[in-house]
Chains A and B, each alone.
Chain A
Amino acid sequence: MKIRCIANTGESLPEKYIDPPRGYTRKVELPLTIGKEYVVYAIREWKGTIWYYICNDNYSYYPIHNPAPMFEVVDSRVSKYWRFEVSPNGLLMIAFEQWFTDPYFYDKLTDQEEAEVEIFDKVKELMDAEDFDLPPLDVAVKKLRENVSV
């Protein structure tokens, strides 16, 4: 999945994204370049707000969440590495497998723990190079039927 930045300040954000104690004010300016495309490594949905985890212009070793209204989707095909989880509190996360294997994976990644940084390095490399090209529907079905034994 790829997105393109269409805004990089809090001015354009819907009210439900504004959260001053957590740094999201109308004045906030995020390290994003308008017009630039970013690969999405994870998605978070919480109480009607959607956040994309991307490697922004300050990227050094971990992806960080950004409000969805700051982007338009330019490639809506989803990664084969993604898994889906809904927590009892209603939090919806879509992310790669290792994110869920350890509930504190992202804590450790942002803490710069070597193993988690290495995992994200690998995941990023795979997702950046992911090939989404699929054969036309007829070709795919024909191939499938040829391989199915009755």
Chain B
Amino acid sequence: MNQGAIPDESPRNLLEQLLLENAKAGNCRVIRRGTDIFLGDAPRLIAVYGGNYKDWDKMTSSEAFEINGASVQVHWFRNSQTLQEVEFKFKRQYPKTAPKNL
């Protein structure tokens, strides 16, 4: 298991860049709240960035773009107390029958 910080994932193309910027601009919402049951990543997030178990939520972009045959969203972690946002990553879901190469 990774114990350190996970760097932000870079967008692969302009549409992913727009999706990321849109999400960072506030078009986002929570997927998993740390107040429910703390996130599986919470111990690592606390060790790396600080905060408490209940503070760390998992977020998603409000929008999902169709890019090169995949439905793409951005996910990341947000500290609901400090609003620190870390570890942005792209979630690309391909139709089951489609090839997975871009």
Residue numbers of A with Cβ under 8 A of B are: 19, 21-24, 28-31, 44, 46, 58, 60-62, 64-65, 87, 89, 91, 103-104, 106-108, 110-112
Contact = CB atoms under 8 A, between A and B. Distances in A.
Contact of A110 (B29, B58, B78): B58
Interface of B: 26, 28-33, 35-37, 39-41, 57-60, 62-64, 71, 73, 75, 78, 80-81, 83, 91, 93
Contacts of B36: 44, 46, 87, 89, 91
B45 to A, nearest CB: 12
Given A58-B71, A58-B73, A110-B75, A22 B33 contact: yes
A42 to B, nearest CB: 12
Contact of B80 (A22, A58, A104, A107): A22
B53 to A, nearest CB: 11
A60 B32 contact: no
B83 A60 contact: no
A126 B100 CA distance: 27
Nearest to B63: A58
A48 to B, nearest CB: 14
Contacts of B37: 87, 91, 103
B80 to A, nearest CB: 4
A104 B75 contact: no
A62 B40 CA distance: 17
